[in-house]
Amino acid sequence: MISPRTLRNLRKELRSSALAKIGIVLVLAMLLVATLAPFMALHNPTNQNLEENNLPPLGFSRATEETTSEMQNGSLVIKNETVLVNASASHPLGTNSLGQDVYSRAVYGARTSMMVGVLGTLLAAILGVSVGLIAGFYRGRVDDALMRFADISLAFPSLVLAIALIGLWGRAAVDIPDPFVMLGVVDPVRSALGLSTGMPDSFVLPGTVIVVVGLVNWVWFARIARGEALSIREEEYVKAARALGASDLRIIGRHVLPNATTPILVLATIQVAAIILLESSLSFLGFSGTTLSWGFDISQGRAYLSTSWWIATVPGLAIVFAVIGVNLVGDWLRDALDPGIEGEGGV
Amino acid sequence: MSYGRFLLKRGFQGILVVWGVVSIVFMLRFITPGSPVDAVAPLDASAELRQRIAEELGLNQPLYVQYLDYLWALLHGDMGYSYISGIEASQMVFTKLPATVELAVASSLVAITLSIPLGVISATRRHQPADYAATTFSLVGISTPNFWLGIMLVLLLSVEFGLFPTSGRAYGFIEAFRILAAQGVSPGLDALWQWLRHIFLPAVTLGTYFTALITRLTRSGMLEELGQSYVQATRAKGLPESLIRYKHALRNTLIPVITVLGLQLGTLIGGAVITEAVFSWPGLGTTLINAINVRDWPILQATLVVIGCGFVLVNLVVDAVYAYLDPQVVAE
Amino acid sequence: MADEILKVRNLTTRFFTEEGQVNAVEGVDFDVRDGEVFGIVGESGSGKSVTALSLIDLVETPGRITEGEVWYRDAELADEHRDSHPEAVDGDYVDVRQLPETTRRWLRGPAFATIFQDPMSSLNPTIPVGEQIAEAVEVQRRARANPRRTRSRTQGYGLGRLLIDSVIPSRNYVSDESHERAVELLDRVGIPDPEQRAEEYPHEFSGGMLQRAMVAQALAGEPDVLIADEPTTALDVTIQAQILNLLTELQEEEDMSVVLITHNLGVIARMCQRVGVMYAGEVVERGSLEDVFENPVHPYTEGLLGSIPDLEDPAPRLSPIEGNVPSLLDSEMGEKCYFADRCPKAMESCLHRIDERDAPSTLDGVDHKVRCVLADREYDESEALDGATAPEVTDD
Ligand code: SF4
């Protein structure tokens, strides 16, 4: 599956490409932040504090009109004053309209994005690769039917289909206990670091979203797997194995699948990026099961654009960096492994 | 195979896909929990009333009868009436369609006119500043969610500088021309100007991803094409470099780019849906989201059918162009 | 004595690769005379194809021509450049390498035309064959109509013009006259039904027909020198003969000179008047066909010829001598004769740089040059290098 030659190519490409290094650093950073969110966040991302809403990030201030009224000489005087709201050191990237810490929400948002990106891609890959292998291996009518079905599903843009399915099926979500909180390590560490305690003890996994993004993205995997199956089927050693009476399942598992690994891996990387973008779009439109998501925060920040630009800006930058990272890793894999898929896939 | 026969074959396949699209849209209702009656009936409706509504909607018929009825009606352009407003679904969809088509076409035009020269420059000045700028732009462009880009553009250009309206669509393109014809030059040009001001940000928002994507594809395609031996042979016969670059290499680069664009059309439509949401653009996307939220089945189905068929249609055109550019496709 | 149309001096081409500097062509000298077929023969990797590309200045990065002159006889061109580029002009000759780039480009076609090994990959798969030939005609037509613009930076064809041409499909750069001429040329090279074939695409042609079309394209500029780089290698044996016949016929009728590059000694014997043998980037022996084939001096040439029992029935591939062509990496080339490792007659004096020397010639006025110490001395076993195999006595 991963031969020494492959590894050598990967290393060689990595050495010569600064972009690949940047990509790996970005992806590792994202994964780290997502995993260790309870330690990285400054506050509980869902804690509201209306006293401290719309605080600007460090280095910025926000002007706001304050209206005071008082009785002067028996008549009501209304005064409009411009006051400056200054940043607070405990909220380095500011707070949103509910007084939630923008930075901590971005940290937890990374969890949602990574989980949906990885699990959604996995689901799409399992579905697509199975369909593709069957179609390519058996050819004939099975192939025709499956590929025609793939054509039809391509006719629905994945975002449109995802909106429709989630809108109609509901926004089911699963609460997953946070392992670090369960182990009881979070509070001691945080108080040792002088941070506030009481992080969320569970994490909301938007189940429907994962299933749906998997369902709407399988076609790309099916196409690749089918192509590989079609070509490998004709190889002499596969013919020999068949002649010796090896079962179809065994041939697929032993010969076809391993050969298809490289292109599938490259495609999967591109798909993670696409699915992160798709997830953020869905939660932006309100078609998600969680509120701890970059897209959701952007949609919240939109209403405060003229006064509190950071609420929408910070999570957006997080998406951009995450997706750039994954795309760069994808480019690195593609250049190093050269599986011959250029530019397919996408949101 | 001749070009005509090739198109005929593709057309036939397209019809099959359209039939599949229509069938899947029909089936969507049966893999959805709840009944369409819920959308229509008042919350406290009696069982009797619900029964009557179901009958009215034809939901009591056997499945295949419902299916055939649906197909038959569709063939006559009848997609039912909105459960909410009672407006004819086909009429509703076709009044919304131009806004979306305008948006998609405008952003594709922006994307194509910018990206192809950018990709060519990038490929022919490899490892020079222009190349680095173009590759950086395309990397960031394919990695930026378009709804966020839209919001940032609004923040910068509309909120800060007031250059463009933040949302809405003043006139349709055709409408603006009608004004031009009916009311004279000054109001006509004004309408066109308003149209342009309103569509500018949405088109840029939607177009950026494609600009970035096509730039990337064009660059890598050009690099590959310029390394082919026919390019060297073409140089050997003394052709000017510009001719080799554009007539030979670029043309061949665009062939695979066109295929990818056909496949990416879904992304364009999906992107249009979300761009419409950002800019309150009154198109199919907004209609779709509303219809889903209130379970307005006829509208939802009509929107999906139109989107699916549009996709198939545009891909047919893409296939035709593709086969025209690459004669080997027809031959195979 | 016939005049030289082309005098190549000290042509040196290097490739600057990641692994190091590769000396693909190393100080190559040869002349091509009016109306002759000059053959360059060598194994693959001997630098003969790079030599061809160097002549027409089409070596691509990481390759670069680092040294050398290519003197081409054109009185008009010489007059034109005598004042502006005095160093590039010598009598009626111009040194193509020292001319401005645009002029060099403009010479491709009317001065040098090229036929490549694989016609299928040498033609654009998505443009009809006739149109591609017509392009080659058209570029010359425009050059004649407006030489100034053609030699300007845009070469009379800017992006704006291109856009117009692509919008009006009938134009496509090519004029009707050029198209007619292309059909004529197809007819000239013996393609039946040329009108119809002109509209067809490369994949609709057979290999032999396509190579004929390539020849037609090369004729479009009415070249003085036709460079044919392995023109028959990719073809079936029966078709090879047809293409060679066609080349001979055209060479005589058009009075062109031909530089024929091949690994096939039979082709050389059949086609050429004079020949150069290339090994490891150098021309190791050159002279008239008789001199080189009947009285070879260089042990490499001897070995090549010895590997063929009968010139009428040549072996298609050359690998006559044990060992491989050296890597041509600059770092591994060293000072000694490049053939020394494989040479059965290697001696101590072969360990130093070997310059080209005169060898006995049987014909008046034809040089016979050899890059080997044996040009003016006999093999002496007592000086034999260690490991060198004793020579087999070759008697003809
Ligand atoms: S110079 Fe010496 S080693 Fe080289 S070919 Fe001649 S005899 Fe052989």
Q: List the domain boundaries for chain C.
A: 1-111+223-330, 125-222
Distance of alpha carbon B161 from alpha carbon B154, whole angstroms: 9
Residue-wise pLDDT for B118-154, tens only, equals 999 999 888 889 999 999 999 999 999 999 999 999 9
Whether residue A346 is contained in a domain is answered as: no
For an interface test with B, give the residue of C58, C107, C124 to mutate (most B CBs within 10 A).
C124
Residue-range definition of the domain harbouring residue B243: 89-331
User: For a substitution probing ligand 1, which of C333, C345, C352, C356 has the most ligand atoms within 8 Å of its CB?
Assistant: C345
| Residues A36 and A17 grouped into a single domain | yes
- Interface contact flag, B232 C127, Cβ < 8 Å: no
Residue-wise pLDDT for B94-118, tens only, equals 899 999 999 999 999 999 899 998 9
In sequence order, the 6+-apart residues with CB closer than 8 A to the CB of C339 are: C279, C280, C284, C298, C299, C300, C346, C372
Statement: residue C392 has pLDDT above 50: no
Statement: residue A303 has pLDDT above 90: no
Mean per-residue pLDDT of chain B: 87
Residue C350 CA: nearest ligand 1 atom is 2
* C393 confidence band (pLDDT: 50, 70, 90): very low
Q: Which string of DSSP letters, residue by residue, matches B126-152?
A: TTSHHHHHHHHHHHHHHHS-HHHHHHH
Last residue of one domain, picked from the residues A41, A73, A90: A90
| Residue that the structure tokens 């068929």 belong to | B309
Amino acid letter, residue A258: P
Statement: residue A340 has pLDDT above 70: no
- Strand order of the β-sheet with C357-358 is C112-115, C225-229, C257-262, C37-41, C274-279, C282-288, C369-370, C357-358
In sequence order, the 6+-apart residues with CB closer than 8 A to the CB of C348 are: C383, C385
pLDDT at C32: 92
Whether residue A127 is contained in a domain is answered as: yes
* C317 confidence band (pLDDT: 50, 70, 90): very low
pLDDT above 90 covers what percent of chain B? 30
Whether residue A20 is contained in a domain is answered as: yes
Is C35 part of the contact surface with chain B (CB cutoff 8 Å)? no
Burial of C103 (0-12, 13-18, 19+ CB in 10 A): middle
Measured in angstroms, how far is the CA atom of residue C339 from the centroid of ligand 1?
A: 6
Statement: residue B275 has pLDDT above 80: yes
pLDDT at A235: 80
Tokens of A84: 């400056």
Burial of A154 (0-12, 13-18, 19+ CB in 10 A): buried
- Interface contact flag, B145 A305, Cβ < 8 Å: no
Is B240 part of the contact surface with chain C (CB cutoff 8 Å)? yes
Residue-wise pLDDT for A228-279, tens only, equals 888 888 788 888 888 888 788 888 888 888 888 888 999 999 999 999 999 9
| Residues A137 and A159 grouped into a single domain | yes
- Interface contact flag, B289 A285, Cβ < 8 Å: yes
Whether residue B81 is contained in a domain is answered as: no
Measured in angstroms, how far is the CA atom of residue C273 from the centroid of ligand 1?
A: 26
Provide the 3-class DSSP secondary structure of residue A123.
helix
* More confident of the two residues C165 and A198: A198
Residue-range definition of the domain harbouring residue A79: 60-90
Q: Whose alpha carbon is nearest atom 6 of ligand 1?
A: C372
Q: What is the pTM of this model?
A: 0.84
Distance of alpha carbon C61 from alpha carbon A138, whole angstroms: 46
User: How near does any CA of chain B get to the CA of A160, in Å?
Assistant: 6
User: How near does any CA of chain A get to the CA of B3, in Å?
Assistant: 22
Whether residue A347 is contained in a domain is answered as: no
The closest of C86, C73, C198 to C134, measured between CA atoms, is C198
Distance of alpha carbon C88 from alpha carbon C71, whole angstroms: 9
Phi-psi category of residue B98: left, alpha or beta, with phi > 0 → left and psi -120 to 50 → alpha: alpha
* A342 confidence band (pLDDT: 50, 70, 90): very low
Distance of alpha carbon A64 from alpha carbon A82, whole angstroms: 6
Mean per-residue pLDDT of chain C: 83
pLDDT at C103: 82
Whether residue B232 is contained in a domain is answered as: yes
- Interface contact flag, B266 A155, Cβ < 8 Å: yes
Provide the 3-class DSSP secondary structure of residue A340.
coil
| Residues A181 and A83 grouped into a single domain | no
| Residues A215 and A285 grouped into a single domain | yes
* More confident of the two residues B219 and A80: B219
Is C106 part of the contact surface with chain B (CB cutoff 8 Å)? yes
Whether residue B283 is contained in a domain is answered as: yes
pLDDT at C152: 63
| Residues A77 and A196 grouped into a single domain | no
Residue-wise pLDDT for B23-59, tens only, equals 988 888 888 877 777 777 777 777 888 888 887 777 7
pLDDT at C364: 66
Is B213 part of the contact surface with chain A (CB cutoff 8 Å)? yes
* A344 confidence band (pLDDT: 50, 70, 90): very low
| Residues A257 and A325 grouped into a single domain | yes
**E strand or H helix that includes residue C26:** strand C20-33
**E strand or H helix that includes residue A37:** helix A37-40
Q: At what angle do helices B89-124 and B297-325 cross, to 10 degrees?
A: 40
Report the length, in residues, of chain A.
347
Domain count, chain A: 2
Look at the domain C1-111+223-330 and name its fold. Answer: Rossmann fold (3.40.50)
In chain A, what residues touch B12 (CB-CB under 8 Å)?
Answer: none
In chain B, what residues touch C204 (CB-CB under 8 Å)?
Answer: 331
pLDDT at C153: 60
In sequence order, the 6+-apart residues with CB closer than 8 A to the CB of C211 are: C115, C119, C231, C232, C234, C235, C239, C243
- Interface contact flag, B311 A156, Cβ < 8 Å: yes
Contact in structure between B154 and B280 (CB atoms under 8 Å): no
Whether residue B141 is contained in a domain is answered as: yes
**Average pLDDT estimate for C78-86:** 87
| Residues A164 and A215 grouped into a single domain | yes
**Average pLDDT estimate for C156-164:** 69
The closest of A30, A87, A90 to A62, measured between CA atoms, is A87
In sequence order, the 6+-apart residues with CB closer than 8 A to the CB of B276 are: B99, B100, B103, B202, B282, B283, B284, B285, B286
- C108, C118, C201 member nearest B237 (Cβ): C108
pLDDT at C358: 82
Residues with CB under 6 A from ligand 1: C 298-299, 337, 339-340, 343, 345-347, 350, 354, 372-374
Whether residue B268 is contained in a domain is answered as: yes
The set of chains that have 3 or more CB pairs under 8 A with C is B
Nearest 5°: phi and psi at C40?
Answer: -120, 120
**Average pLDDT estimate for B228-253:** 88
User: How near does any CA of chain B get to the CA of C221, in Å?
Assistant: 8
Q: How far is CA B186 from CA A139, B163, B192, C53, in A?
A: 64, 21, 10, 63
CB atoms within 10 A of CB C75: 11
Statement: residue A36 has pLDDT above 50: yes
Choice among A68-72, A85-89, A340-344, B103-107 with the minimum mean pLDDT: A340-344
* C196 confidence band (pLDDT: 50, 70, 90): very high
Last residue of one domain, picked from the residues A90, A109, A141: A90
Is B256 part of the contact surface with chain A (CB cutoff 8 Å)? yes
pLDDT at C154: 61
Statement: residue C36 has pLDDT above 80: yes
Whether residue A246 is contained in a domain is answered as: yes
Provide the 3-class DSSP secondary structure of residue C286.
strand
- Interface contact flag, B327 C201, Cβ < 8 Å: yes
Choice among A70-84, B166-180, C162-176, C313-327 with the minimum mean pLDDT: C313-327
Contact in structure between B98 and B92 (CB atoms under 8 Å): no
**Average pLDDT estimate for C180-209:** 92
Amino acid letter, residue C263: H
Distance of alpha carbon B60 from alpha carbon B193, whole angstroms: 53
Provide the 3-class DSSP secondary structure of residue C33.
strand
**Alpha helix segments (H runs only) across chain C:** 48-55, 75-81, 101-107, 119-122, 129-145, 147-150, 159-167, 176-188, 194-198, 207-219, 237-254, 265-271, 289-294, 299-306, 330-333
In sequence order, the 6+-apart residues with CB closer than 8 A to the CB of A336 are: A6, A9, A10, A12, A13, A14
pLDDT at C324: 67
* A346 confidence band (pLDDT: 50, 70, 90): very low
| Residues A267 and A317 grouped into a single domain | yes
pLDDT at A347: 30
Tokens of B254: 């665009």
Burial of B79 (0-12, 13-18, 19+ CB in 10 A): buried
In chain A, what residues touch B260 (CB-CB under 8 Å)?
Answer: 343-344
The closest of C102, C132, C145, C97 to C218, measured between CA atoms, is C132
Domain count, chain B: 1
User: How near does any CA of chain B get to the CA of C113, in Å?
Assistant: 6
Residue-wise pLDDT for C222-276, tens only, equals 899 999 999 988 888 888 999 999 999 999 998 899 999 998 888 999 999 999 9
Statement: residue A73 has pLDDT above 50: yes
pLDDT at B276: 93
Statement: residue C339 has pLDDT above 60: yes
